[in-house]
A and B are shown apart, each in its own frame.
Chain A
């Protein structure tokens, strides 16, 4: 089982739709969680951190479910410019207390006019 798993997609949705992605992680000791966005042939850029109580940034909402070991990203009123690959990132702290950052393979989102 992969340490961080995402549905690769692609998700193809019309402009204005609401779309949600999930990401599951295997290590219950994971400490912190992030969503990154990566455009085609570009570097990943931080979209938002994910807090235990859930957090919102404009049209984007991130949730964490520690009991079920998944995080989610909800995009409301999707725009054409939201088309990208969304990477789930988990900071796993090992027994030695050293951090290990794991990137998911990404979920591709395509917004159509």
Chain B
């Protein structure tokens, strides 16, 4: 089955700790995206990548980092610099190149202890 997966489903972070959220897709999509969603709010773009080994900051990149070493994978690290990390994190992918219909993974809920 083709799809986009995220792990873990729930993640707990201690103060001062970096944590990494996984996102994998086997849809052969070139573009991948990370969004953050806070309760009752829309999605805000953190980072996106249109192609392997290249990525761009979105609207709220501060306190986050990403890598895109493989087409299938786009992990997101929430660093200790992100002071309010509690949120629902969603990864998405699309074919790119103008085809922008995005397909989402099931999300990761990050909670701060």
Contact = CB atoms under 8 A, between A and B. Distances in A.
Interface in B6-38: 33, 35
Interface residues of A, number: 19
Interface in A24-60: 32, 34, 41-46, 49
B101 A43 contact: no
B42 A43 contact: no
B45 A43 contact: no
Nearest to A97: B98
A100 B40 CA distance: 22
Which DSSP category, helix, strand, loop or mixed, fits chain B's interface?
loop
Contacts of B90: 43-44
A103 interface: yes
Interface string A81-113: 000000101010000000101011110000000
Contacts, number: 37
B100 interface: yes
Given A43-B90, A43-B105, A44-B90, A103 B100 contact: no
A101 B93 CA distance: 12
Interface residues of B, number: 18
A87 B42 contact: yes
B43 A44 contact: yes
A68 B68 CA distance: 40
B104 A34 contact: no
A90 to B, nearest CB: 10
B41 interface: yes
B63 interface: no
Contacts of A106: 42
A45 B101 CA distance: 10
A32 B107 contact: no
A43 B106 contact: yes
B82 interface: no
Interface of B: 33, 35, 40-43, 45, 88, 90, 98, 100-107
Interface of A: 8, 32, 34, 41-46, 49, 87, 89, 91, 99, 101, 103-106
